[in-house]
Amino acid sequence: MSNQRTINCLKALRDLRYQLELKDSKLPTLSKWKLHIVSENNFPTAAGLASSAAGFAAFVVAIAKLYQLPQSMSELSKIARQGSGSACRSLFGGFVAWEMGQLEDGSDSMAVPVNELNDWSSMKAIILVVSDSKKDTSSTMGMQLTVKTSDLFQERVKTVVPKRFVQMKEAIINKDFATFAELTMKDSNSFHATCLDSFPPIFYMNDTSRKIIKLCHKINEYYGESVVAYTFDAGPNAVLYYLEENENKLLPFIYKSFNQVPGWDSKYTSNDLQDFLKNFQESILPKFAEHNELDEEVHKGVSRVILSRVGAGPQSTDKCLIDSSTGLPK
């Protein structure tokens, strides 16, 4: 195992197991055993789609289960965080808060759930995969450069984020989509602003990302209310949030713009999709002022649509990637 962050996570998990074995000598000394770990990933990696967050969360929870560790998910999130910062959030389902903690070295920074899973189950997401090529700048290296060189970053950390963090938790608890949407979009913009303020500047978003942002603002403006919120992580891909009850407002616009992109038939029938187009043509287009026309090219920068919703955390599975007779990958 050559990845230092993986080694650090594994060491922390082994230490916890070793504490258990010290207290109970009947336990097998798993902490001394070698591990053969085989993993599989069906998501684009290093593309700003949180693949490493998902991977490290799965890894930490799987080993913790093997070692029968009694620690809570929040305690385990401190370990996952050493693999990939945002992995700490991925140990839970639903909406999760990544608390900064008090200690200078960040060792008490961990994730706690904001709401119970499915408490706001009508929240859905559309991921527009803008590019699944690898990024110029990795999230971790980018963040380090921003902390070191951006003059505006300190203001974001000390003033902007703490205030938004409290407002965001409240919005989620109150299921207040308008506030959730505004905070989500503003915080995405603020994060990318501090990336741009780094030196040399870091650009995760591209012209397609920008067109998607404009489209979302046009849609909300058209309805005079927030039916969609965009957010961009450390990459050009857009995550759009919306409520199931607004699907018939949002999807005509989105499907009209991205119907040439694969992924729609994973969740919608061809009848549903036809209805979206029909709604756009018949209800929206006539009321859509000419100067506000949609960009007919935006789909060209998008390679895939992933339809999703707020989901569960790591799940146990019976599927095994190791051939139990040889101990080698299948």
Applying CB under 8 A, which of residues 8, 65, 199, 225 lies at the interface with its own copies? 199
Strands 96-99 and 322-323: unpaired
- Nearest Cα neighbor of 91 from 48, 38, 55, 37 is 55
Plot region of 224 (φ>0 → left; ψ -120 to 50 → alpha; else → beta): left
Structure tokens at 190: 């603020």
Segment interacting with its own copies, rule: CB under 8 A, options 65-73, 199-207, 276-284, 318-326: 199-207
- Name which position in 100, 112, 193, 307 contacts its own copies (CB under 8 A): 193
- DSSP structural state of residue 264: G
Find the binder of its own copies among 54, 57, 110, 213 (CB under 8 A). 213
Rounded to a whole number of angstroms, the minimum distance from the CB of residue 170 to its own copies is 18
Judged by beta carbon, residue 82 or residue 257, the one nearer its own copies is: 257
Rounded to the nearest whole angstrom, what is the least distance from the CB of residue 180 to its own copies in the complex?
A: 15
What contacts 17, CB < 8 A, 6 or more positions away?
Answer: 30, 31, 67, 69
> In this structure, are residues 21 and 33 in contact, taking their beta carbons and an 8 Å threshold?
no
The footprint of its own copies on residues 168-187 (CB under 8 A) is 182, 185-186
Number of residues that bind its own copies (CB under 8 A): 29
Nearest approach, Cβ of residue 228 and its own copies (Å):
13
Residue from 75, 170, 176, 197 binding its own copies (CB under 8 A): 197
Is 156 a binding residue for its own copies by CB under 8 A? The answer is: yes
Q: Any contact of residue 231 with its own copies (CB under 8 A)?
A: no
Which helix (H) or strand (E) segment holds residue 10: the answer is: helix 4-23
Q: Which of 10, 66, 18, 44 is nearest to 314 (CA)?
A: 66
Shortest CB 198 distance to its own copies, Å: 8
- Candidate residues 31, 190, 248, 259; the one interacting with its own copies per rule CB under 8 A: 190
The residue from 78, 81, 192, 299 that contacts its own copies (CB under 8 A) is 192
Question: DSSP characters for 67-106?
Answer: TT----HHHHHHHHHHH-GGGGGGGSSS-EEEE--S-TT-
Q: Which residues contact 163 (CB under 8 A, 6 or more apart)?
A: none
Closest distance between its own copies and the C-beta of residue 194, in Å?
A: 7
Rounded Cα distance between 293 and 222, Å, is 11
**Distance (Å, rounded) from C-alpha 239 to C-alpha 254?**
12
Pick the binder of its own copies from 71, 189, 259, 303 (CB under 8 A).
189
Which residue's CB is nearer to its own copies, number 9 or number 219? 219
Binding mask 110-149 for its own copies (x = CB under 8 A): ----------------------------------------
Site stretch for its own copies (CB under 8 A), options 8-16, 60-68, 80-88, 188-196: 188-196
C-alpha to C-alpha distance for 40 and 97, rounded to whole angstroms: 27
Residue length, the chain?
Answer: 330
**Cβ proximity to its own copies, 86 vs 198, nearer residue:** 198
- When the beta carbons of 166 and 328 are compared against its own copies, the nearer one is 166
Euclidean distance between CA atoms 77 and 96, whole angstroms: 11
Work out whether 6 is an interface residue with its own copies (CB under 8 A): no
Residue 262 CB, nearest distance to its own copies (Å)? Answer: 24
Q: By CB under 8 A, is residue 30 in contact with its own copies?
A: no
CB-based burial of residue 73 (10 Å sphere; 0-12 exposed, 13-18 middle, 19+ buried)? buried
Beta bridge partners of 124: 242, 309
User: Which spans of this chain sit near its own copies (rule: CB under 8 A)?
Assistant: 150-152, 154-156, 159-160, 182, 185-186, 189-190, 192-194, 196-201, 203, 206-207, 210, 213-214, 217
